[in-house]
């Protein structure tokens, strides 16, 4: 599976666990809602800086974001 798809699946999973809409989440991490949607669809090659913003918005480290069977 492509890494972009894995990141999208993981983001959606974690965002849903927090009960956040894409719009609310995008506001928290200061990224555009359409950008978040395209990440979740596996269409974006996300920068390390934006992965860090996403992890912080989820109140976790980048390590915790990637700590999933998806990335084994």
pLDDT-derived band at 63, boundaries 50, 70, 90? very high
The predicted pLDDT at position 52 comes to: 98
The predicted pLDDT at position 20 comes to: 97
End-to-end CA, the chain = 11
pLDDT per residue over 25-57, tens digit each? 999 999 999 999 999 999 999 999 999 999 999
Calculate what percentage of the chain has a pLDDT beyond 70.
100
Q: What is the mean pLDDT of the chain?
A: 97
Cα(6)–Cα(39) distance, integer angstroms = 10
The predicted pLDDT at position 60 comes to: 98
Q: Which CATH class is domain 3-65?
A: mainly alpha
What is the full DSSP assignment across the chain?
--HHHHHHHHHHHHHHHTT--HHHHHHHHT--HHHHHHHHTT-----HHHHHHHHHHTTS-HHHHH-SGGG-
């Amino acid at each position: 599976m492509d890494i972009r798809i894995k990141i999208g699946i993981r983001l959606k999973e974690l965002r849903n666990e927090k009960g956040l809409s894409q719009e609310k989440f995008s506001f928290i991490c200061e990224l555009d809602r359409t950008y978040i949607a395209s990440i979740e669809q596996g269409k974006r090659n996300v920068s390390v800086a934006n992965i860090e913003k996403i992890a912080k918005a989820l109140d976790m480290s980048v390590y915790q974001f990637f700590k999933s069977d998806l990335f084994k």
